[in-house]
Structure 1
């Protein structure tokens, strides 16, 4: 058994799916065709034999009706003719057999029993005068005699053989047709898979993910499973193309952004290598510039590493109080931007609420928003931060969401720049003279989405830019320190 299974497995591995499907479909249709032909043969044989038996019984009935002398009669040799019946009357007592009578039909003990009425009528197969016959032996009621009627059965056998040959031809044609249909079905049914395989091989052979599988036109053609599989594969290829494009753009943008600070680093390093030719003031300026550029490169590399992360590590997720994080981040921003007036307003209902998240990552998100607002605020201008609770519908178990806004009073965001605010390395025309790499807002949105929140940008009423962070509250969210509590 193990060897048989091993051979079957090796055969399946060596045969392509199209061949296996064609063979399976052909075998299924062939089995049905052969089964139908075999059933038809059995039915034809039964019906022809049954018809012969009905003729024998009908002949016996006619003889009963027109024969008056029911004495034992000798048999004849009329069974040598295909259409003539061979008739013989047999007595239950062997002593009453006609003297010297020739018995064309054999008389056995069973025949005597039928004549005596001790046995029911029966059919039998025998050979008379060298010809195959079928004989019917029946008892005559009221007499101790049996009537034997025989008809040649070679015509029936010839018809059965002809039917067998005809059905064999039909079965062979059915098997050939099954093979052709199986090949056609496999070729047509697996066409989407063949196109999918060819497309996958082209994508694997080249880095171009723009290949797609041609789908049949019309909405009705998308209802079968193979077409849906091809459409899903096209969707996957589209996502792959977007990912490859984004990766290439990130690498190109990163290399472009790194080129300038690395060039400056090399220049200052070369200056410091010739420190003996520089004055003390020149060495100090070169060292200061070198340190600043190292910090910029380090920050840029760290930002790129952060952007490469798609989600938060689950072991680092804990219950975080956004109000406390916001207070801490605003305090740090005040130290870093002493010329900017940061204001903070926290809704008492939101002060004690907690959400699941990674504190360090959420702190980075808030710091990026505050640094971005401070860069665009005029000296002495305010940056307003506010945290409020937006309750959910009364009929829903959703507790609502926390709404955190950061607003500056700078020039605002131009309409043409608003769709690209969160793009990587994107810097508006008015921001290109300011420090930064253009990754802060892209990183902020990525952190927000990793925490199930949404970060948006808009023009603030009265001027300036407004960034809004919406953090949904899950059912069962609790409050710590008063203000509001969920169950």
Structure 2
């Protein structure tokens, strides 16, 4: 049933229930506090006759002494008036007898009889009934060997007061429940108004896919934070969609050139075969070699795109990596690709946790760039690994300062490299691999010409225990 209620109705019900329970608890506590106070007042009045004179008068009365009432005569009152006010009491004796003064005899219990044998002054308070069935509060206390006094007060007025108070408190509770329900409805409407705006915005985005929608976020409460988080989410989604759109456009642009060249070369081969005029072996060999190179370029481009399309959590399990060995293997591969380019290497041990294949691919890309731009120029490629910082320096033409902020963007290529082979994804792959390993990478112009790539990775110069 609760699953079908709206959030507003559930919040209203919750507030009303909480307030109603609070009022009900307060009403019950109030009733018990008043009851306890009324009973304390009754108990304070159950002090009995004060002083030895009152007790002696009661004993004399019950023993038939001068205090006993006489037959009414014309010479005096029907009985002698005691010198103080005596409330309705009764004496009880160890043998079970009793002497009642007043018109409210109270039933004697075995516990009352036991008090006749207790030390003088011992008392006991209890609820009791009169012989007529009226409820009373009774105090019994020992006043001498084998004698106890029982004094009682009727509870009828107390019970009537408590009953009236119960009805009053019930009415207050009912009124409080109504007020709580009204307050709960008002609170739910006020509190959920920002949630309603957020819901409308989410429904609008889901219906129109307009990720530029923003929610006004005012204040620092949870609702405001939710609005800020929603705005941040739509901004991130818009950026992701823009990057996806740009990636598709750039990939299509990069694929168009090799596909056009492939189609032209294949058309040439087909035309030569269909016309019966086959190409000479040397031109045909060059054409097939060109086709193979173009296929390899497309395969590399597709592989780079797949590498960049992976999410951050889509990688091989991280292991302990000897980064200096990774760099050494990347240098070996670079020397095989460009045997005419000298590469100077200085490597110190460095260990870290990461994806070894991705890190090797990143170092290979840095070396390929350095070798490509250093080809036919003065100076070797210098590779250094010290204290977790890898530097790769070439002696190429360098990068214009205005283009340095874009070197790690996908498909970006420097103006000096647009005539060279490549897809423009190498440095983007480097940045992703280093970022996934928790490191930093930057590219700058080196003193004396060329570029300097810096890669910083967190790790240790010593192999971790157990690695």
* TM-score (norm: length of structure 1): 0.69
> Which runs of 5 or more structure 2 residues have no equivalent in the other structure?
71-84
Query: Structure 2 CA distance, aligned partners of 1:283 and 1:382?
Result: 37
Residue 404 of structure 1 is matched in structure 2 by 391
Residue 3 of structure 1 is matched in structure 2 by none
Residue 423 of structure 1 is matched in structure 2 by 409
Residue 263 of structure 2 is matched in structure 1 by 266
Residue 47 of structure 1 is matched in structure 2 by 37
TM-aligned CA deviation for residue 159 of structure 1 = 1.8
Query: Structure 1 CA distance, aligned partners of 2:439 and 2:109?
Result: 99
- CA 1:343–1:46 in 2, change beyond 3 Å: closer, same or farther? same
Question: Residue 461 in 1 paired to residue 451 in 2?
Answer: no
Does structure 1 conserve the Cα–Cα contact (< 8 Å) formed by 2:16 and 2:181?
yes
Residue 396 of structure 1 is matched in structure 2 by none
Question: 1:157-306, aligned counterparts within 5 Å?
Answer: 157-183=159-185, 200-217=202-219, 221=220, 228=225, 231-232=228-229, 234-275=231-272, 276-277=274-275, 280=279, 287=288, 289-306=290-307
- CA 1:292–1:160 in 2, change beyond 3 Å: closer, same or farther? same
Aligned-residue Cα RMSD (Å) equals 4.7
Aligned residues: 430
Question: Residue 346 in 1 paired to residue 332 in 2?
Answer: no
Query: Structure 2 CA distance, aligned partners of 1:317 and 1:449?
Result: 17
- CA 1:166–1:387 in 2, change beyond 3 Å: closer, same or farther? same
Query: Structure 1 CA distance, aligned partners of 2:434 and 2:251?
Result: 22
Residue 77 of structure 1 is matched in structure 2 by none
Does structure 1 conserve the Cα–Cα contact (< 8 Å) formed by 2:370 and 2:394?
yes
TM-aligned CA deviation for residue 54 of structure 1 = 3.7
Question: Residue 105 in 1 paired to residue 104 in 2?
Answer: yes
- CA 1:317–1:209 in 2, change beyond 3 Å: closer, same or farther? farther
- CA 1:385–1:180 in 2, change beyond 3 Å: closer, same or farther? farther
Does structure 2 conserve the Cα–Cα contact (< 8 Å) formed by 1:87 and 1:147?
no
- CA 1:168–1:323 in 2, change beyond 3 Å: closer, same or farther? closer
TM-aligned CA deviation for residue 371 of structure 1 = 3.6
Does structure 2 conserve the Cα–Cα contact (< 8 Å) formed by 1:140 and 1:146?
yes
TM-aligned CA deviation for residue 418 of structure 1 = 0.9
Query: Structure 2 CA distance, aligned partners of 1:97 and 1:304?
Result: 112
Residue 307 of structure 1 is matched in structure 2 by 308
Does structure 1 conserve the Cα–Cα contact (< 8 Å) formed by 2:327 and 2:363?
no
Does structure 2 conserve the Cα–Cα contact (< 8 Å) formed by 1:126 and 1:135?
no
Q: Deviations over 1:337-389 (max 9, x none)?
A: x5xxx232223xx2666666666544543443344345445x62135322334
* TM-score (norm: length of structure 2): 0.72
Query: Structure 2 CA distance, aligned partners of 1:96 and 1:198?
Result: 85
Partner residue of 2:21 out of 31, 36, 57: 31
Does structure 2 conserve the Cα–Cα contact (< 8 Å) formed by 1:258 and 1:297?
yes
Does structure 2 conserve the Cα–Cα contact (< 8 Å) formed by 1:90 and 1:145?
yes
